[in-house]
Amino acid sequence: MVTAMVKVEFHFDFGSPNAYLSHLVIPEIENRTGAKFEYVPVLLGGVFKLTNNRSPAQSLAGIKNKPEYERLEMTRFIKRHGITRFQSNPFFPVNTLMMMRGAIAARPLGVFDRYVDAMYRNMWAEPKKMDDLNIFRSALDEAGLPTAKILELIETRPVKDELLENTNRSVERGTFGSPTFYVGNEIFFGKDRLRDVEEMIVASG
Beta bridge partners of 183: 8, 186
What is the three-class DSSP state of 159?
helix
Task: Kindly report the average pLDDT of the chain as a whole number.
Answer: 91
Q: Are 86 and 125 in contact (CB under 8 A)?
A: yes
Half-sphere exposure of 72 (CA within 13 A, CB side): 5
Residue 50 has what pLDDT?
83
* Mean pLDDT for the stretch of residues 95-120: 97
pLDDT band at 3 (very low <50, low <70, confident <90, very high): very low
Largest CA distance in the chain: 48
What is the three-class DSSP state of 65?
coil
Please state, in angstroms and rounded to a whole number, the distance separating the CA atoms of residues 124 and 78: 13
What is the pTM assigned to this prediction? 0.90
